[in-house]
C-alpha cells in the first residue's frame, strides 16, 4: 500500500495526473500534455484560416471549453487529415474528457500522419494501460522513445508499466534510471523506488572454481 500511495503522489506532483482510485494495482491516468517534442513531432496547420481556427481551438481548451474546441478540431481533421497536430490536440481533449476510445482513435491517426509523434505515442501508452492492454501500452511507449530517446515522461511511464503492471523489475530499473537522467534533476520518490528494486535483486550466483 505504501508503494501504491507513493505512485499516486508522484502522479499528482510530477505528471499532473488525476487522483488514483483505490485498488490492488495502480493504473495512472494519462499525464497532462507535456512540452512538444524537440523534433517538432506535432505539426500544426500552416498559416492562414486553418491556423486561426487551430489557435481558437487551443484557446477554448485553455478556458475549459472542451466541446466547442473539439468541434473545431474535428473539422480541421476532416479538412487536413494528413496533419498530426490537430489529431494530437483532439486526442488530448478526448482523453481528458474520459472519451478513451475516441482518444485512442485520434492518437492513432496522429501517429499515422507523423510516425515520429512521440507525444501521441506516450498518450496511447497511457490509454492502453488504462484499458488493460499492457502489450500495446509497452509498444506505444517504446515507439515514443524510439522517436525521442530523451523523452523523460515516457521513460517514467514505461518504468511504472514494467514495475507495477508487468512485474519486470530489471527493465523497470533501467527506465527509472533513464528518467532520472533525462529529467534534469533527481526525483526523490523515483530514487527510493530504484533503491527498493536494487535491494530486491537476487545476489549473483557463483559457480565452484569460478570467480564471480
Topology given in CATH for the domain delimited by 43-113: 1.25.40
pLDDT number for residue 201 = 81
128 and 140 Cβ atoms separated by less than 8 Å:
yes
Return the percentage of the chain with pLDDT > 70, whole number: 73
Q: Is the pLDDT of residue 4 over 60?
A: no
Q: List helix spans (H) across 19-65.
A: 49-62
10 in Cβ contact with 120 (< 8 Å) = no
Classified by CATH at the fold level, domain 1-14+116-194 comes out as 1.25.40
Alpha helices in the chain (DSSP H): 2-10, 49-62, 66-79, 84-96, 100-113, 118-131, 134-147, 152-160, 169-183, 188-200
Q: What per-residue confidence (pLDDT) applies to 30? A: 38
Q: Where are the domains of the chain?
A: 1-14+116-194, 43-113
Q: Express each pLDDT in 75-99 by its tens digit.
A: 999 999 999 999 999 999 999 999 9
| Three-state DSSP class for residue 133 | coil
What letters, b where the CB count within 10 A reaches 16 and e where it falls short, cover 27-36?
bbbbbebbee
Spatial neighbors of 165 by CB under 8 A, at least 6 apart, are 25, 27, 129, 134, 137
Per-residue model confidence as pLDDT tens digits over 109-150: 999 999 999 999 999 999 999 999 999 999 999 999 999 999
Cell triple for 4: 501504491
Amino acid at each position: 500500500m505504501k508503494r501504491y500511495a507513493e505512485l499516486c503522489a508522484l502522479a499528482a506532483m510530477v505528471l499532473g495526473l488525476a487522483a488514483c482510485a483505490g485498488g490492488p494495482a495502480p493504473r495512472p491516468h494519462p499525464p497532462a500534455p507535456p512540452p512538444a517534442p524537440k523534433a517538432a513531432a506535432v505539426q500544426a496547420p500552416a498559416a492562414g484560416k486553418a491556423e486561426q481556427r487551430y489557435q481558437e481551438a487551443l484557446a477554448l481548451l485553455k478556458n475549459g471549453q472542451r466541446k466547442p474546441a473539439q468541434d473545431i478540431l474535428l473539422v480541421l481533421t476532416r479538412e487536413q487529415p494528413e496533419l498530426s497536430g490537430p489529431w494530437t490536440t483532439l486526442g488530448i481533449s478526448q482523453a481528458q474528457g474520459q472519451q478513451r476510445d475516441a482518444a485512442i482513435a485520434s492518437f492513432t491517426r496522429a501517429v499515422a500522419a507523423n510516425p515520429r509523434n512521440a507525444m501521441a505515442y506516450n498518450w496511447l501508452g497511457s490509454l492502453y494501460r488504462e484499458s488493460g492492454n499492457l502489450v500495446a501500452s509497452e509498444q506505444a511507449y517504446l515507439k515514443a522513445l524510439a522517436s525521442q530517446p530523451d523523452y523523460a515522461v515516457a521513460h517514467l511511464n514505461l518504468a511504472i508499466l514494467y514495475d507495477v503492471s508487468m512485474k519486470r523489475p530489471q527493465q523497470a530499473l533501467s527506465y527509472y534510471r533513464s528518467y532520472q537522467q533525462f529529467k534534469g534533476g533527481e526525483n526523490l520518490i523515483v530514487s527510493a523506488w530504484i533503491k527498493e528494486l536494487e535491494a530486491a535483486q537476487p545476489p549473483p550466483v557463483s559457480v565452484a572454481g569460478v570467480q564471480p
